[in-house]
Amino acid sequence: MDLRETLNAALKEAMRARDTARLSTLRLISAAIKDREIAARGEGAEVTDADIIALMGKMVRQRQESATVYDTGNRPELAAKERAEVAVIETFLPRQLSDDETQAAIADAITAVSAASLRDMGKVMAHLRAAHAGQMDFGKAGALIKAQLQG
Q: Are residues 107 and 136 in the same domain?
A: yes
User: 85 and 134 share a domain?
Assistant: no
Is 100 exposed, middle or buried, given 0-12, 13-18 or 19+ CB atoms closer than 10 A?
exposed
Residue 80 sits in the same domain as residue 13: yes
How many structural domains comprise the chain? 2
Same domain, 25 and 86: yes
The per-residue pLDDT for range 62-115, each reduced to its tens digit, is 999 999 999 999 999 999 999 999 999 999 988 888 889 998 999 999 999 988
CATH code of 54's domain: 1.10.1510.10
More confident residue, 7 or 42: 7
Q: Looking at the structure, do residues 8 and 48 belong to the same domain, yes or no?
A: yes
| Chain segment 100-146, per-residue pLDDT in tens | 999 899 999 999 998 888 888 899 999 988 888 778 878 888 888 99
Range of 14's domain?
3-90
Instruction: Report DSSP letters for 65-132, one per residue.
Output: HHHHHHHHTT-HHHHHHHHHHHHHHHTTSPPPPPHHHHHHHHHHHHHHTT--SGGGHHHHHHHHHHHS
Please, which residues have CB within 8 angstroms of residue 115's CB and are 6 or more apart in sequence?
A: 109, 121, 123, 124, 149
pLDDT at 51 over 90: no
* Residue at a domain's end among 90, 107, 142: 90
CATH of residue 107's domain is 1.10.10.410
Residues 71 and 18 in one domain: yes
What is the pTM for the complete model shown?
A: 0.74
Answer yes or no: is pLDDT of 1 > 70: no
